[in-house]
Structure 1
Amino acid sequence: MIKQLFENREFLIGILLLTVILSASFINTQFFKQDLDNISKEEYLANKPSPPSLEHPFGTSQGGIDLFDQILSHTFPTIKMALFITVGRMAVSLILGFLYGLQYKKLKWMDLFIEGFHFVPATLLAFLLLYGLNFMNFEFFMENPDFRWYFIAFTLIAIGIPTLMQLIGRETNLVLQNEFIDSAKILGGNRIHILLKHVVPSLRGKLFLIFSSQLIAVLTLMMHVSILGYFIPGWTAFIGSNYYELMLSPWIIFFPVLLFALLIISLTLIANGFRNTLEGEYYSRRSTFLESSTTYSLPFRKKDISI
């Protein structure tokens, strides 16, 4: 499986692109990052943004700060926050989804309520839930600087749980319809045994695809939420807090958006490569089975003809 993945062109290009982004961020942050401690407040206000040049390929932002350094320094915070939200969604949804799938006949009525989440934009739902932050005490934020980030992160986690739980529950229910599940029940397997030994291995590939699609959706949602004013650490906060520069100094927005798009493209290529490899493995197994059945049937046909 791993060998086939690295033979897939889309997966290989996605991995290489993601590696380049992460490596450039790590190397620049550790060895070539601009020293900002020596910049005084007067110098910061005096140095205006400048367009891209040979000295500063991405240009500079307010204070004469090199934009290339700023963007790369926000790479890991962006990915960490996206992974935190995605893993949180998956962890909760896996538990609820498996329970939902095991008891699907009894809990099927919940589909009526969950279907509503498919028609409400996640950005609008996030905005309505986060709007309550505007009515909280500002001094509370100053005393608890991490509260805002955790509140936003857990809100974005909660938004994706209903639909994700339903998806995992339905996939679990489909696996439980297979004949080998009936055989496992006849042999005395309980629900926990069937879940761990049969359902989870059968859904392993699909769960990875669900995780990758959720990671891309979370990154997009982080961007939308930051533009609405609820800044999330990383590229999204940088873009959201500087979007007004689009008409004045467009390079300040262009290059972060470009790298953000490259990150999403790399993740999409990785997911597509994994999906194509998974489907190719299924069809190869299917063709092998058909060839073997044909091979066994041919001698009997020849024997019948000779008789």
Structure 2
Amino acid sequence: MLSKVPLFFTGLFLLLFIVSASIVFPLVLSEPEINPFRYSVALKKLEIPPYSPSKENWFGTDRYGKDLFYNLIDGAKYTILFACIITIGRIFVSFILGLFFKRLFKSSWFSDLIQSFQYVPQSLIVLLTLSPFLFYELRNEPMFTTSETLFVQLLVLIAVGVLQLGKIIAETTELLSRTEYVNCSKLMGASYFQITTKHILPHLWPRLIVIAGRQFAHVLTLMLHLAIYQLFIGGVQITSGQEHDQFINYATVSNEWTGLISAYHKELMLEPFIVLVPVTAFALLVLCINMMTKDLEHHVNKRSLFK
């Protein structure tokens, strides 16, 4: 039965299920208590965190005793919804720019300007823009609250990809406007509004959904690149348990998956399961998005061939 269901709807169902579980689960069950130590009857010894996967902690705990399964479920909604909002924001703004400002993208100087930014990583632009506002000294308070941090991050992450995406939509719209049926409509006296609504948009919508899928995966990758430099979604919590702050710890305040990967990457040579849990979840999420995009792209190409 499942084999007859398109991969797109299968992946969409999985995403909706994960987001729903991430919203409901923390409301129903409270976060497991942190046990600084516990006695193992089987091994007859005293254990301290991190605890290995067990019945009490399905995925184990981190070095501070926090349950990895709870962190993973709690942070799923922030990871998926934040990337989704950024993708929708990029598509919306780029759609307006590409559809109504095609002449601007056709100009040589503006096209060359956008082309030059393709050689600059978006993660570097975002890092240079947000670092002065989101990073703070250990003995000071952060400049923004969590909600303000999310808003600023949304604006910057949307803006950094708008021009390149707008150019793609403008070029796609230009190609559609050169087709035979559009030229026939122009000869018959159709207005620009009629051509756009009747001929261009019906063919542009499926392509926009495919582009949105690619952008979703791109945004997730961008979030991971930023997390490597401790720029977490929702803000960063900087702490230190050492005298004179020799060792500074960076932690995510929202438990989003890229922040967990960055915060736990030091455990790779000590306790690999701690970092492998969010890495596996993130990899499966990207795989699910790519599966949906490939299936949708296949159906769009198949539909265009028949037409």
TM range (shorter): 0.7 to 0.9
Shift of 1:151: 1.9
Could you tell me which residue of structure 1 aligns to residue 117 of structure 2? 117
Could you tell me which residue of structure 1 aligns to residue 208 of structure 2? 207
Q: Say if 1:197 and 1:32 are closer, same or farther in 2 by CA, change over 3 A.
A: same
Could you tell me which residue of structure 1 aligns to residue 156 of structure 2? 155
User: Does the 8 Å contact 1:50/1:60 carry over to 2?
Assistant: yes
Greater RCO structure (CA 8 Å; 6+ sep): 1
Could you tell me which residue of structure 1 aligns to residue 70 of structure 2? 69
User: Are 1:172 and 2:173 an aligned pair?
Assistant: yes
Q: Say if 1:83 and 1:18 are closer, same or farther in 2 by CA, change over 3 A.
A: closer
TM-score by length of 2: 0.78
Shift of 1:106: 5.4
**Structure 2 Cα separation of the partners of residues 163 and 128 of structure 1:** 19
User: Does the 8 Å contact 1:123/1:221 carry over to 2?
Assistant: yes
SS state at 2:161 partner = helix
**Structure 2 Cα separation of the partners of residues 191 and 56 of structure 1:** 61
> Per-residue displacement from partner, 1:18-58 (whole Å, max 9, x unpaired)?
3553455356434445355xx69x88xx9522122343221
Query: Counterpart of 2:267 in structure 1: which amino acid?
Result: E
User: Does the 8 Å contact 2:104/2:110 carry over to 1?
Assistant: no
Moved more, 272-281 or 16-25: 16-25
Higher fraction of helix: 1
Matches within 5 A, 1:161-240: 161-233=162-234, 234-240=256-262
User: Are 1:100 and 2:101 an aligned pair?
Assistant: yes
Shift of 1:108: 4.4
Could you tell me which residue of structure 1 aligns to residue 273 of structure 2? 251
Shift of 1:136: 7.4
Query: Counterpart of 2:290 in structure 1: which amino acid?
Result: T
**Structure 2 Cα separation of the partners of residues 90 and 48 of structure 1:** 44
SS state at 2:79 partner = helix
TM-score by length of 1: 0.78
Moved more, 18-27 or 186-195: 18-27
Unaligned stretches of 5+ in structure 2? 38-46, 235-255
**Structure 1 Cα separation of the partners of residues 32 and 258 of structure 2:** 23
Q: Say if 1:106 and 1:207 are closer, same or farther in 2 by CA, change over 3 A.
A: closer
**Structure 1 Cα separation of the partners of residues 7 and 124 of structure 2:** 33
Q: Say if 1:185 and 1:70 are closer, same or farther in 2 by CA, change over 3 A.
A: same
Identity of aligned residues (%): 31
User: Are 1:266 and 2:267 an aligned pair?
Assistant: no
- How many aligned positions are there? 275
> Per-residue displacement from partner, 1:215-243 (whole Å, max 9, x unpaired)?
11001111111221111142122222333
Shift of 1:77: 1.2
Query: Counterpart of 1:21 in structure 2: which amino acid?
Result: I
Q: Say if 1:105 and 1:11 are closer, same or farther in 2 by CA, change over 3 A.
A: closer
Shift of 1:9: 5.2
**Structure 2 Cα separation of the partners of residues 121 and 211 of structure 1:** 20
User: Does the 8 Å contact 1:246/1:253 carry over to 2?
Assistant: yes
Q: Choose which of 26, 29, 39 in structure 2 pairs with 1:29.
A: 26
Q: Say if 1:24 and 1:182 are closer, same or farther in 2 by CA, change over 3 A.
A: same
Shift of 1:152: 2.1
User: Does the 8 Å contact 2:52/2:61 carry over to 1?
Assistant: yes
Shift of 1:251: 2.0
**Structure 2 Cα separation of the partners of residues 150 and 162 of structure 1:** 20
Query: Counterpart of 1:121 in structure 2: which amino acid?
Result: P
Higher fraction of strand: 2
User: Does the 8 Å contact 1:60/1:252 carry over to 2?
Assistant: yes
User: Does the 8 Å contact 2:105/2:167 carry over to 1?
Assistant: no
Shift of 1:8: 6.0
Query: Counterpart of 1:52 in structure 2: which amino acid?
Result: P
Shift of 1:132: 2.8
Unaligned stretches of 5+ in structure 1? 1-5, 287-307
